Amino acid sequence: MSATSTARSVRPPVARYIASRLGQALIVLWAAYTVSFIVLYALPSDPVALLAGGDASDITPEQLDALRVKYGLDRPLFVQYFVQLAGVLTGHLGVSISSGRPVTEVIGEAIPPTLQLAGFAFVIAVVFGGGLAVIATFVRGRSLSAFLLGLPPLGVAIPSFWFGLMLIQWFSFQVPIFPAMGDKSFAALVLPAITLALPTGAMIAQLLSKSLSTSLREPYIDTAWAKGGDRRRVHLRHALRNAALPAITITGLIVGQLLAGTVVTETVFSRPGIGRVTATAVQQQDIPVVQGVVLFAASAFVLANLAVDLVYPLLDPRIQLSAPSRRLRPGAADLTEATPVDDVSLESEEELETVR
């Protein structure tokens, strides 16, 4: 092969790509289980005292031994690890100490209201965060653009619990539009969803505005202008189409942030859900429930990232999972890898050479 030739590397087959991503997902879940087990059981502490309520002074040694036998804490630590791991693989996460119910049942009942809240918050974050980024990079006035671009960092910096309390004060007490707590109506979902969406929408706005600013300076934008595209079409159809792709890669971070935010939001607004279960389990030192919540959050994070890994090649044709090895003619660029996803068509080889 000559020095001026370029060979396309052979991509792994689709099945191997999917198997690799599934393997990585399983490793992350195993790591999440291992870390949570070490933090909750293996650190220098007395888990039996925690299970008994954190104060073992009024409990006899015989009662403590009975608790150790009941929850399997009398066995060696590595035996406990593998016994609980086998339970996780079979779908049994243990029994809640405070309620005596299976952990899977406790978490299962809390998932629907949390999904409802997180889903609504995600829509608000995407619409308003994405809209703010588009407007901030589209307006002509530098002062207005700088003001709009300064809002996302402010949204990230505002504490969620303070923002939620302010919303309750303004829109539940001073101007009674929305209820301050509960989950019996759609109106009760508005304020907690806005509270949960604030940091997520700010993060989306920051990333998308930066990506849009970068995309607007790319050569293919000059090509779009040269082909007669108006400002709105170039900004929304060409630049935004490419700038939105990096935002998709942070889906896992968004899911993690939404789940973490439910702990504060559901507590402030007295809503049932995973966040409320987590706060209660930590307060009551219910170790099996805490570990179950950790595994649920890790699973949600892993599934979101796995979905992005599998869907991203469909959204970006430059990424190919499987392609035959072939040689390009001398001097030719690999347009599949280098050209942004755009509908600025090049009708002929002569036009391609002109753009170069």
Tokens representing 73 are 């804490």
Task: Catalogue all structural domains in the chain, each as residue range(s) with its CATH number.
Answer: 108-285 (1.10.3720.10)
Tokens representing 290 are 């805490």
**pLDDT value, residue 124:** 92
Ramachandran sector of residue 162 (left: φ over 0; alpha: ψ -120 to 50; beta: rest) = alpha
Give the position of tokens 């600025």. Answer: 344
What contacts 24+ positions apart, CB below 8 Å, involve 222-226?
223/344, 223/355, 224/342, 224/344
**pLDDT value, residue 58:** 65
Rounded Cα distance, 74 and 48, in Å: 10
Its pTM surpasses 0.85: no
**pLDDT value, residue 242:** 76
Mean pLDDT by 10 residues, the chain (356 residues): 43 70 86 86 65 60 76 77 84 78 88 90 90 84 84 86 89 85 81 91 87 79 72 74 76 78 85 86 81 87 81 65 42 39 42 38
DSSP reduced 3-state for 238:
helix
DSSP reduced 3-state for 141:
coil
**pLDDT value, residue 328:** 38
**pLDDT value, residue 194:** 93
Q: Helices in 269-286 by DSSP H: which ranges?
A: 274-284
DSSP codes joined into one string, 154-213: HHHHS-HHHHHHHHHIIIIIIS--S-SS-SSSSHHHHHHHHHHHHHHHHHHHHHHHHHHH
